[in-house]
Chains A and B, each alone.
Chain A
């Protein structure tokens, strides 16, 4: 049944959309857009690491994304100007990743596959990794949902309620690294952050609770994924960017409708 590459692509895209939705909400609520950028751009460095050490791509990306996410989360707690610093990390990681991949000996690597994804080349094995990673990421967020929300609102308030905001941040960091690792094959390093942020932002006007926003983001993400897949067949366009384009269109539509929903 999974022999059809279009079906595999659709399932891979839906898996990523489901994992990205609740996580993307937190990225938006906590204003961590650059955090998502830095982590997903670091994925390219993970690709270089995996190829040079002959490791599975997923493992290399997971390790490097996690390392980058931990660095960024660590800096976040200090009094450094994080905006500029995150910009440096995000773009630095991308540039160094590109250089590192080009330095790999006797290997012609198809860079665009890692930058923009190659969802149409998803194998059954990839599907297992994507759905497995997505399931773990979603489970983490559901398990810590209330605590994560509290820590997002105000760390001191969370502490006063007996929580450890640092631990919650760590959980979010882990889920982010995991989602980046599984999304690389689907949308590529450049556009992972887009699939995190855009569906969540598009879901905002239709939501009165955090939970509905996460569910709406999942629905919008799935529409964008499947719509982008269909569009890429209809117009012979690259699939990952097509999916993000549809998501951006949905965001524009949602922003236009927002005044109707605001009471």
Chain B
């Protein structure tokens, strides 16, 4: 059974249909990336999956007892709110100190527990968000443009961290991303969204699809060629991704 899936999911926001008849399913341990232009319903889809948006029609099915780790697109903490990293990770449920420190370590920010959230750099902040999502040992990590506002090296390092977390914890990863070359290199599957699922499949299949080309042009061909060069021999669909690291 899939971890999480949608059945003919239709979402309406402020009277506007943002998603129509979406059927997706995320399997154990796979990395799935959602791409699509602005306003194509990517974030709305994720919000429906975590239960923050009610479907206008259709449904979302979660596996029994599914634990979701959610990393929102942006989190603005008002400057008037004093909050330590440790305090942030203990909201709303308190966790033992060892659990908090372990999550921070996994996210690569083991030494920040006592810092104020307001004092963190963009990259540190995103990693703390990641650590928070890891607290309940999730079956699936859901990330909404988690590298927004990071520079390219910062984004690349963040994605490497995600891969490491996935390898260590075995969780599935569903993310929205604009970093097309990273997507192409690091995903098992790509979902191209534009109000509906316009194409999906392995990165090669999606990149060759006319629907995808119509949306993104052929500009990623260079990155894709690189991807194929390094990966055609190892991408065997058994979800063993120990070879993926070379992609960076």
Contacts and interface: CB of A to CB of B under 8 A. Distances in A.
Contacts of A201: 80
A208 B92 contact: no
Interface in A146-160: 146-147, 149-150, 152-160
Contacts of B14: 79
Interface in A197-230: 200-201, 204, 207-210, 212-213
Contacts of B116: 208
B75 A153 contact: yes
B226 to A, nearest CB: 35
A163 interface: yes
Q: Is the interface of A mostly helix, strand, loop or mixed?
A: helix
Interface residues of B, number: 25
B81 A210 contact: yes
Most central of A31, A160, A208 by chain B CB within 10 Å: A160
A161 B72 contact: no
A213 B81 CA distance: 9
Contacts of A156: 47, 50, 52, 70, 72
A28 interface: yes
A154 B83 CA distance: 14
Between A29, A30, A156, A163, the greatest number of chain B beta carbons within 10 A of the residue's beta carbon is seen for: A156
A158 B132 CA distance: 12
Contact of B87 (A30, A79, A154, A210): A210
Contacts of A212: 82
B34 to A, nearest CB: 16
B78 interface: yes
A149 B84 contact: no
A192 B169 CA distance: 51
Contact of B50 (A79, A149, A159): A159
A157 B84 contact: no
B129 to A, nearest CB: 9
Contact of A209 (B50, B77, B80, B83): B83
Contacts of B88: 153
Contact of B92 (A149, A204, A209, A210): A149
Contacts of A150: 91-92
A157 B87 contact: no
Contacts of A210: 81-83, 87
B186 interface: no
Nearest to B94: A146
B148 to A, nearest CB: 15
A161 B52 contact: no
Interface string B87-99: 1101111100000
Given A31-B78, A152-B81, A160 B52 contact: yes
11 contacts: A146-B92, A146-B93, A147-B92, A149-B92, A150-B91, A156-B47, A157-B72, A160-B68, A207-B82, A210-B81, A210-B82
Interface of A: 28-31, 79, 146-147, 149-150, 152-161, 163, 200-201, 204, 207-210, 212-213
Given A156-B47, A207-B82, 9 more contacts: A30-B78, A79-B14, A146-B90, A150-B91, A153-B88, A154-B75, A157-B75, A210-B81, A210-B87
Interface of B: 14, 47, 50-52, 68, 70, 72, 75, 77-78, 80-84, 87-88, 90-94, 116, 132
